[in-house]
Structure 1
Amino acid sequence: MPALLLGGVLGGVTGLVTTEVPGSITPPAFAADFPGGDQQYLPSVTLAMIVDDWMKKANSWKCTQEAGDPDAWSRAKQRTTCEPPDGRGDMYVDIEYDAPDKVKVVEATCRLGNYTRACTTLFSTMADAVFIGRPKLRKSVAAWAKKNADSERHTIIGGVRLQANLEPHGLRITPEV
């Protein structure tokens, strides 16, 4: 029995020391379409389009701007939060961006409860506003947001990810990557 144990240990050590792992030690090259540059931003979306045109002019929402959170997953440099004019705090929209024409995230949160008309309208209107510069996709995006407002679903349309959440009840729109 001791001879078997000793033989097994010696064989294992010899195998580890003399066996070369197959494959290359050079890391693979990144794919040509690896996310970078403008792929981290929502296509055709500007801060003015969301905040000035949709939130302030069309809906009279109040917005505040602050520095981005360096620990947030988006690593955006700036953040604007908008709330309805009544200031109840049960609905708000966050926009995270690096520059006025480099928007990373548009996210709506609605604490009025699932299956409420106000939340469904907020999400579908926000989706439509994000795609205002892409008229061929607007109708399908707004319809998807309305249909899935009270779910945990996501989809990708035109290189943009729409993610519906229940806790917190919201809709997050980010680039596909």
Structure 2
Amino acid sequence: MIFHKTSLQDAYLIELEKKGDDRGFFARTMCREEFAAHGLDTDYVQQNTSFSAHKGTLRGMHYQLPPYTEAKLVRCIAGAIVDVIVDLRRQSPTFMKHERFELNDRNRLQLYVPRGFAHAFQTVSDDAEVSYLVSAPYTPSAERGVRYSDPRLGITWPLPVTVISNKDASWPLLQEGAGAPF
């Protein structure tokens, strides 16, 4: 794997290092030793899959409170998404900054989302499937979110939001001076 630092502290875009021949290719998508060498979480307790039928679907911005904070390793295995992460760690030099990444079934890039980040994605194709490893079990009482359209974050989504859950559409706005949970 080839680890590319992003503009956000501790977040990485990971390129598969393909070994190929006339059959196709083989690549590792996770390696405990390589992740540890980059200071990334190496223990994952769940693998989740999300399928969205329609282009323009938005899922997120989600995070979990301590002690259930999650690192995620996100990969789009069918179709295409634009993934957005926001650093909510008060002590981070990239606090309240966001970055977006295109993940699709052609570029096969993965996004490592550190603990203390909010995470969301929008589908930019129909029939998009996302698979991701998570370092902590889903804990409903610790689940929180930030509104995808919060003006304080200034996120520009690639498409109009056409499908979104009621829960994701109604996450609270960040309050001036209230900061973030971490």
TM-score (norm 1): 0.28
Pick the structure with more strand per residue.
2
Question: TM-score of the superposition, structure 2-length normalised?
Answer: 0.27
Structure number with higher helix proportion: 1
Greater RCO (Cα-Cα under 8 Å, separation 6 or more): 2
